Amino acid sequence: MIKVNCNLCGRDDYHVRFPATADGDVLRVDAFRCTHSGYGHHGQIVECNHCGLVYTNPRWPSDVVLDAYSAVEDETYVEERIGRELTFRHHLRDMERIIGPADGRALLDVGAYIGVFVEMANAAGWRAQGIEPSHWAAAEAQRHGLDVRLGTLESTELPSESFDVVTLWDVIEHFADPATELEQARRLLRPGGWLVVHTMDIDAPIARLMGRRWPWLMDMHLYFFSARTLSQMLVDHGYEIVWQGTQGRYLRLGYLASRLAGMNTGLGRFARSAVNRLGLREAAIPVNFGDLRTFICRRE
């Protein structure tokens, strides 16, 4: 494990917000699956005394984390594809209300996983491609004919100012160095291009109410932004925030029941039984607790 300074202000002055609940000597690759239900299992989470950024410290070195993401496989994500498609269609429609229709513009989805958003964007008229570090996920996307390259923003050679939009859906909280990633994204954007970032909001009312029981406190998350801290980081790296707001997602009831089991075994067992008994396992519903926030920004 290594200690890191604040990624927003660079200071090494913090207080512990949530003590570690996990053994720092053991890294489990399955904990880096998008659908992992290890809620409440995490390293020490601290808050910067100067700017308020919340992050995991100490943590695994960046290369170790990247190796875990490269090795991860996640068949449950494939099973939950219907919910992801519905979610991304709504996100895409909301995004286009701000930045305009596709008109054949170039879009890069960072952390594309199996390429669901890339597929939705292509269907809407975008020239979409993705980058993904997981060998399994990139291969799954390519198997469906999608342009998803294996790698990261740093390792993939893409021409500067070659995209009109770069999207980071549930990705920035996983980066070892979010500030540098935002710089990389800015390099790839054409002047006046758009950056879309979607992540958890640790200052949302439900997050504050639940405290250490907030389910997004997990091994895989290295940063826990608030609206204030992410806004500051975006502005610091040359972005104008045009719109921000909460956005939920669609979940199959069967999948939602499995998530509840990760938080409370008894509640999850009851939910699974009820969903199966009513034959609603495949039904998808909108879920929005106000703790997932989207930022739509223009490159200055």
Listed in sequence order, the residues at least 6 apart from 291 whose beta carbon sits closer than 8 Å to its beta carbon are 200, 201, 202, 204, 206, 207, 214, 216, 246
Take residue 36 and report the two structure tokens written for it. Answer: 């992992």
CATH number of the CATH domain containing 70: 3.40.50.150
CB contact burial 138-174 (16+ within 10 A = b; e otherwise): bebbbeeebebbbebbeebeeeeeebbbbbbbbbbbb
The per-residue pLDDT for 173 is 97
Q: What is the pLDDT of residues 163-183, one digit of tens each?
A: 999 999 999 999 999 999 999
Asked if residue 6 is part of any domain, the answer here is no
Asked if residue 8 is part of any domain, the answer here is no
Question: What's the mean pLDDT when you consider all of the chain?
Answer: 91
The pLDDT > 90 percentage for the chain reads 75
pLDDT band at 261 (very low <50, low <70, confident <90, very high): low
Using omega within 30 degrees of 0 as the cis cutoff, is the peptide bond preceding 178 cis?
Answer: no
Asked if residue 27 is part of any domain, the answer here is yes
The per-residue pLDDT for 263 is 64
Q: Give the least confident one: 78-87, 164-173, 190-199.
A: 78-87
Listed in sequence order, the residues at least 6 apart from 44 whose beta carbon sits closer than 8 Å to its beta carbon are 16, 18, 19, 20, 56, 57, 58
Take residue 224 and report the two structure tokens written for it. Answer: 């826990």
Please state, in angstroms and as integers, the Cα–Cα distance from residue 150 to each residue in 70, 154, 183, following that order. 9, 12, 20
Helix (H) or strand (E) holding 122: helix 116-123
Asked if residue 38 is part of any domain, the answer here is yes
Asked if residue 211 is part of any domain, the answer here is yes
Asked if residue 209 is part of any domain, the answer here is yes
Asked if residue 5 is part of any domain, the answer here is no
Q: How many residues does the chain have?
A: 300
pLDDT band at 259 (very low <50, low <70, confident <90, very high): low
**What span, in angstroms and rounded, lies between the C-alpha atoms of 160 and 190?**
8
pLDDT at residue 286 tops 60: yes
**What span, in angstroms and rounded, lies between the C-alpha atoms of 257 and 21?**
24
Please state, in angstroms and as integers, the Cα–Cα distance from residue 138 to each residue in 87, 126, 210, following that order. 20, 20, 35
Helix (H) or strand (E) holding 75: helix 75-79
Q: Give the position of tokens 């969903």.
A: 275
Asked if residue 20 is part of any domain, the answer here is yes
Q: CA 299: distance to chain centroid?
A: 20
Nearest one of 252, 221, 237 to 300, comparing CA atoms: 237
Nearest one of 94, 112, 109, 124 to 244, comparing CA atoms: 94
The per-residue pLDDT for 260 is 62
The per-residue pLDDT for 23 is 73
**What span, in angstroms and rounded, lies between the C-alpha atoms of 249 and 173?**
17
**What span, in angstroms and rounded, lies between the C-alpha atoms of 287 and 89?**
15
Q: What is the pLDDT of residues 207-252, one digit of tens each?
A: 999 999 999 999 999 999 999 999 999 999 999 999 999 999 888 7
- Antiparallel, parallel or unpaired: β 45-48 and 54-56: antiparallel
Which residue range is the domain that position 207 belongs to?
14-299
Whether 65 contacts 110, CB under 8 Å: no
Query: How many domains does the chain contain in total?
Result: 1
Q: What is the pLDDT of residues 19-53, one digit of tens each?
A: 999 876 677 888 888 888 778 889 999 999 999 99
